[in-house]
Amino acid sequence: MTREAVAPAFPTRLTEGYKAFLNGRFPSERERFEVLAERGQSPETLIIGCCDSRVSPEVIFDASPGELFVVRNVSNLVPPFETGGDFHGTSAALEFAVQALKVKHIVVLGHQMCGGIKAFANHADPLSPGDFIGKWMAQIQPAADALGPQARSAADYITRLEFAAIELSLRNLLTFPCVRILAERNQIALHGAYFGVADGVLRVRNPETGAFEPAVDGLEALGRLAPRCD
């Protein structure tokens, strides 16, 4: 006698969270949702962030529905422009944000203690025969090459590589013709940012010096400034 399969229950935490949304945020923002449903979305900013559960752009920037267009992947990477292969999730989101939504800003949002960066730096063993993480992270090899051999502590090297990967993604953005042309016309701005999970400090890349500096004055004491990544 075979046991009849039982469908797994939807996570209780999500159901309870949805109830809280219905009783709290939704009523206060219902008009905004109705406008978004009728007129569509028109965000001015694309955030390319990491899928790490600790780094939610909507939470960090206290964003309302429809304000941010967000694409998240392992280690917030932008691959270089290429048309081979069959699947280009990040490139597709970028294309839609730039060409259809006409965003004015693109932010590459990295973060402290990134698991993908750590896996790359430590030459971690594959988690499956597909080694999807390893293959995806291999694209930051140019950033690692630019940093050179690890000369300091492992933790310091990983932090430097986290910043260098953001720099690489910013350069890769300019390999997309639609982005490069708009950037040259000053019709779109590219930004690098880094969120400190432990201290809550958001650092923004200074385009003139390459240094990542606190986005809000007076937060220097909460954590040391990130090094410049040439």
Q: Tokens 């030459």 label which residue?
A: 123
Write down the pLDDT at residue 225. Answer: 46
The DSSP annotation for 216-228 comes to STT-GGGSPPPPP
Q: How does pLDDT run across 3-30, given as a tens digit for each residue?
A: 677 889 999 999 999 999 999 999 999 9
Confidence of residue 200 (pLDDT cuts 50, 70, 90): very high
Is the pLDDT score of 124 beyond 50? Answer: yes
Question: What is the DSSP secondary structure assignment for residue 101, as one 8-state letter?
Answer: S
* pLDDT for the residue numbered 221: 46
Q: What is the pLDDT averaged over residues 219-224?
A: 52
Running DSSP on this structure, what letter comes out for residue 185? T
CA distances from 89 to 74, 78, 179 (A): 12, 10, 17
**Residue 86: pLDDT band with limits 50, 70, 90:** confident
pLDDT in tens, 53-72: 999 999 999 999 999 999 99
CA dist 97 and 46 (Å) reads 7
The per-residue pLDDT for 220 is 55
Sign for the CA dihedral angle at 128, 164, 106, 99 comes to negative
Domains of the chain: 11-40 (no CATH), 41-218 (3.40.1050.10)
Separation between Cα atoms, residue 30 and residue 18, nearest integer Å: 14
Enclosing H/E stretch for 107:
strand 105-111
Q: For residue 218, what pLDDT is reported?
A: 72
Please tell me the distance from the alpha carbon of residue 75 to that of residue 116, in angstroms, as a whole number.
6
pLDDT digits (tens, 9 = 90+) for 137-160: 999 999 999 998 887 789 999 999
Q: What is the mean pLDDT of residues 97-126?
A: 97
pLDDT of 224 higher than 80 = no
Largest CA distance in the chain: 72
Rounded to the nearest integer, the mean pLDDT of the chain is 93
Q: What is the mean pLDDT of residues 90-114?
A: 98
Across 204-211, average pLDDT? 96
pLDDT for res 26: 95
Whole-structure pTM value: 0.91
Burial of 101 (0-12, 13-18, 19+ CB in 10 A): middle
